[in-house]
Structure 1
């Protein structure tokens, strides 16, 4: 909107350049902070895969027990997701997101205290409860700040924290594991401590830097606050769903929940077990950390490029189906030839598809969710779909134990993500446009 004006309710016109400047300031202040916070969140959620390289032996975890422990986090996350976002809607994103981050950081560090399967299950359950609501809470917060023309790219940058966490987590986790024996603690214990503390620090930063609404942002000029408020308020939503009772019966919400469930299950099935999959190729611990980072590094670039293409074309549904299909194809390639090179090629293609799908997916629900319905609707989609994060690791662990290899598990993950792609093709029946 470079040469136009923004007209607000008072009749004042604001040059488009002021709007551009306002959104640049908002993006630079809010998006990096929340993306880094999500990065740390994801590291704390998935670093258990690297801890397992030595922790499982130390505390007596079988493959099946590890799968249950890795997955139980997502069960509690799912259970508390909608209540958490209901509280966020009442008290504001700034306070509630900071609370989430500080408590999850403390609990993540406290995972260093686990001593067996039961304490491992308990700590993972508590960590999931503490984290519940962060992802949909941030996306609800973005609805108050950014109109649709920015949304795919903003959400892509935010969701890029997921593949980026794998790029950072691998080398960082392997490096921290080398501290084994320092001050009498095992390397995996240092892993949970070192990677848990930053969440607490970032939670305090959110309290200082985040503002719930543009109208309250002292770091914007009055004209900039008006420009952002007017741009967001000017959006019209297709058959807006506001009340929770409407959300749970809306076919669009139910269909999107099923889509998110499928590719979440598949992505976590790969992500949590990737270090152990690579270990079967006789790689050293250091090599596993470096090799595991490569697919996610490529996924980071692909996510941003794909989101830009989606914003230009506007064909979100088509691109979502395409990314799911690509992810399923990649998994099948990974199991087609049992060599490291082919496996990594296939897993890289799969991760590009899954990571690109996330940003595209979350730009679709705001087209018809509004107000309290947006807070509850985003949380409902995320919470039910997050069961995939519970079932993915558990299913992979069970199939690995039952069959003796990861092949059947990866084929199963591919089928579920392919199902998400097929369900995506049904969305145009219930929504206008593509």
Structure 2
């Protein structure tokens, strides 16, 4: 029979999901649309500005350099000031910078604005992961993060046709279609950023929309988890940054992101090439199909993983599935078969991500979680810089258009093998905190 405290905890989790997740998903949708819309604008942007393929690939990827450099500082500032303030700041500034991409006129301006976009958005994703770990206990964290990750396919499911429609919209206000695309999607993020300041709540203890019993039950459960993490994992930012498990997770996440962005940046143009058309409404609608499959797949996979409790093996299987789908997409000239392969890949690389994040959040707590999660994400997201450049180099070296996607497929298989070797091994005495940390205090860096 469920206790009163257990019932209060379950009702608090349900209420938090209902209130927080839809808004967090909206934030993620806008973040990813503003990150990936350059893939939709690729052809017309190059035609109007004279960007070469190499310049586009470098500019598309350089976003991740600024993102990586400022990731850890940004997440530590969020830990200090709270999600409500910092997430609002991130969204407002990145929306403005994204809208300013309409001013691109040559390679230099493209590089500068993509770099500034990375700096502005730095800390957003690890901040969300930290925020979710501050709200949802470990027993349901995989499926909760899986629901948040719906924002990834939704961004491309909704963003694909919307971006296509904006590119087909003529010349509103005298702007070229690709300029209109960046202005509309960028300013939408800034508006939601202002709303976030008034809507988000940093922690359960501050949630006026939970009743007292719900606040106490959820806060107690999360504090007990944090106490265990701080006693058995790195207890400070510096300890987390040199923790071997954190660095190993970063390497795995690098392979995951190579798979993700190898597809995201090139799916629209690949579909356009197979259909013999330009990247517009038709291609946008076709490109949305894999993201529908990803939503269904992620919903099912994360729930099965939570029930079985074997997130590592599930994550490895999903990353291997993504790699096979990516490879298969390069080996067919059929639109139907290519879309099927992209569906398989999308299910794999979307569902692997919430499964992956249960590994580091399972032992990182307090300030160590803020620093460790940010480091993993910053190093991992460099895969977004390497992916388009590796794809181009492989195609040039092998003189084959298939070589690029096959090289990204190989990276995904390596990442799956690394996941199978990951262990929550106890740390050495030199780097484990042997004294308990009062739950009401935050360990300093």
TM-score (norm 1): 0.94
Instruction: Report whether the alignment pairs 1:267 with 2:260.
Output: yes
Equivalent residue number for residue 171 of structure 1: 161
Shift of residue 243, structure 1, vs aligned partner: 1.6
Equivalent residue number for residue 146 of structure 2: 156
The one of 372, 379, 382 equivalent to 2:367 is 372
Contact preservation (8 Å) 1:111, 1:189: yes
Equivalent residue number for residue 357 of structure 1: 352
Shift of residue 215, structure 1, vs aligned partner: 1.2
Instruction: Report whether the alignment pairs 1:254 with 2:255.
Output: no
The one of 261, 272, 289 equivalent to 1:279 is 272
Equivalent residue number for residue 4 of structure 1: 3
Equivalent residue number for residue 240 of structure 1: 233
Q: Which residues of 2 match residues 389-404 of structure 1 at below 5 A?
A: 389-400=384-395
The one of 187, 191, 197 equivalent to 1:197 is 187
The one of 12, 22, 29 equivalent to 1:22 is 12
Equivalent residue number for residue 130 of structure 1: 120
Shift of residue 395, structure 1, vs aligned partner: 2.2
Q: For structure 1, which runs of at least 5 residues remain unmatched after alignment?
A: 7-15
Deviations 1:27-85 (A, max 9, x none): 11111111110110000000000111311100011111110111011111011100101
Q: Which residues of 2 match residues 2-401 of structure 1 at below 5 A?
A: 3-6=2-5, 16-235=6-225, 236-237=228-229, 239-281=232-274, 282-284=276-278, 285-400=280-395
Separation in structure 2 between the aligned mates of residue 431 and residue 320 of structure 1, nearest angstrom: 21
Separation in structure 1 between the aligned mates of residue 236 and residue 208 of structure 2, nearest angstrom: 32
Contact preservation (8 Å) 1:257, 1:385: yes
Deviations 1:183-222 (A, max 9, x none): 2110000100111112112112211111112111112222
Deviations 1:337-357 (A, max 9, x none): 332222222222111110110
More moved, 164-173 vs 271-280: 271-280
More moved, 328-337 vs 197-206: 328-337
Root-mean-square deviation (Å):
1.7
Deviations 1:256-309 (A, max 9, x none): 111100110121011111112122211343321111111111111111111111
Shift of residue 401, structure 1, vs aligned partner: 5.4
Separation in structure 1 between the aligned mates of residue 170 and residue 12 of structure 2, nearest angstrom: 48
Separation in structure 1 between the aligned mates of residue 10 and residue 195 of structure 2, nearest angstrom: 25
Separation in structure 2 between the aligned mates of residue 278 and residue 5 of structure 1, nearest angstrom: 54
What SS does the aligned partner of 1:47 have? helix
Contact preservation (8 Å) 1:241, 1:369: yes
Contact preservation (8 Å) 2:263, 2:326: no
More moved, 282-291 vs 84-93: 282-291
Separation in structure 1 between the aligned mates of residue 256 and residue 289 of structure 2, nearest angstrom: 21
What SS does the aligned partner of 1:219 have? coil
Shift of residue 329, structure 1, vs aligned partner: 1.3
Separation in structure 2 between the aligned mates of residue 86 and residue 112 of structure 1, nearest angstrom: 31
Shift of residue 431, structure 1, vs aligned partner: 6.8
Separation in structure 1 between the aligned mates of residue 60 and residue 146 of structure 2, nearest angstrom: 26
What SS does the aligned partner of 1:20 have? helix
State the aligned residue count.
Answer: 422
More moved, 248-257 vs 333-342: 333-342
Shift of residue 310, structure 1, vs aligned partner: 0.8
Separation in structure 1 between the aligned mates of residue 399 and residue 44 of structure 2, nearest angstrom: 20
Contact preservation (8 Å) 1:29, 1:209: no
Separation in structure 2 between the aligned mates of residue 291 and residue 266 of structure 1, nearest angstrom: 20
Separation in structure 2 between the aligned mates of residue 157 and residue 429 of structure 1, nearest angstrom: 25
CA separation of 1:292/1:431 partners in 2, compared to 1, >3 Å: closer, same or farther? farther
